[in-house]
Amino acid sequence: MPAVSMAHALNQALRDAIGADDGVVVFGEDVGELGGVFRVTDGLASSFGEDRCFDTPLAEAGIVGFAVGMAMAGYRPVVEMQFDAFSYPALEQIVSHVAKTRNRTRGAVTLPMVIRIPFAGGIGGVEHHCDASEAFFAHTPGLKVVTPSSASDAYSLLREAIDDPDPVVFLEPKKLYWTKEELTLPASTEGFGRAVVRRSGRDATLLAYGPSVPVAMESAAAAASEGWDVEVVDLRTLVPLDDETMTASVRRTGRCVVLQEAQGFAGVGAEIASRVQERCFHSLHAPVLRVSGFDVPYPPPKAEHVHLPGVDRVLDAIARLQWDDAPDTTWVPEQRELAGGKA
């Protein structure tokens, strides 16, 4: 079975979708001849022609606005925002029009379109090239929000997103583009709204999504050496969110840590922690904890390792879940390092 990268799986998903439906069109900055900054659209223009995969001007609001018009006309546009923070000029289109058109027209007009966004950090990028903006989209009713953590999910979820009758924001973890999985395409995995238990455990639950899933898996393996048997749940889609799988896991283990790269304040992790607390209160042995990026603008590459949650911070959180032998741990030294020693 061949080893397939996430970037290749995404490329194949786009290739198969274009081949299967004459209405699917792919466009964005440098997605044509160049094949995209991360080569996800590599070869599509030469295979299908420039009317099916083409470059646009550097105008994100225009790209999304153009997609709205094409979706209204019966196409299934798939647009690429070159980097996550580049999508912010298009937020007005996304929030005011993409998300609201079905409701505004009482279902008479739907927008079957996908907004692909290279997502989060871990590649040594600079401001606007590495961000974690999932909370903006998840907070906006009318959007589905998806983020795969494996090549098989990347293929399967992107095909489902393109087939969906409503708009989908598809967040692709940049640092996972070149991770590989033994896989034969096409792949079919669980659909939207279905979380997956990636590792079974009995003592605590780690809830993670997208780029944080490999960190959660590594943390669970490290926790085992400390005597903690930790379960890892990959949420896969943030909207819709699989309350059933995540709460069943927490009720079974009695302890929960939510892991995300984005800053903690008002983030998706806060929503997840609240829902777990409300639904699992009588099963909990300890408060639900969060491990996240710090509440600062995305740092320069040399400070990225401090900002992004790693195994040590996850293990610190697990250790604070009110075990009988819990050590006294804190994140304060790391926060001080990020602030140049002044925090």
All residues at 6 or more sequence positions from 241 whose CB lies less than 8 Å from its CB, including other chains: 193, 235, 272, 275
Q: Which residue has the tokens 């079905």?
A: 102
Selecting among 8, 97, 128, 129, the annotated active-site residue is 129
Contact indicator for 128, 85 with CB cutoff of 8 Å: yes
> Is 307 among the catalytic positions?
no
Query: Residue 248 has which token pair?
Result: 């069943």
By three-state DSSP, how is residue 166 classified? coil
Contact indicator for 111, 102 with CB cutoff of 8 Å: yes
Nearest Cα residue to 203 out of 133, 267, 256: 256
Q: Reading across the β-sheet that carries 168-173, which strands appear in turn?
A: 53-55, 24-28, 76-80, 114-119, 168-173, 144-146, 237-239
Handedness of CA 221, 222, 227, 230 (dihedral sign): negative
Count Cβ neighbours within 10 Å for each residue of 224-241 and write b for 16 or more, e otherwise.
Answer: eeeebebbbbbbbbbbeb
CA distance 168 to 174: 18
- The DSSP letter of residue 109 is S
* Catalytic positions: 129
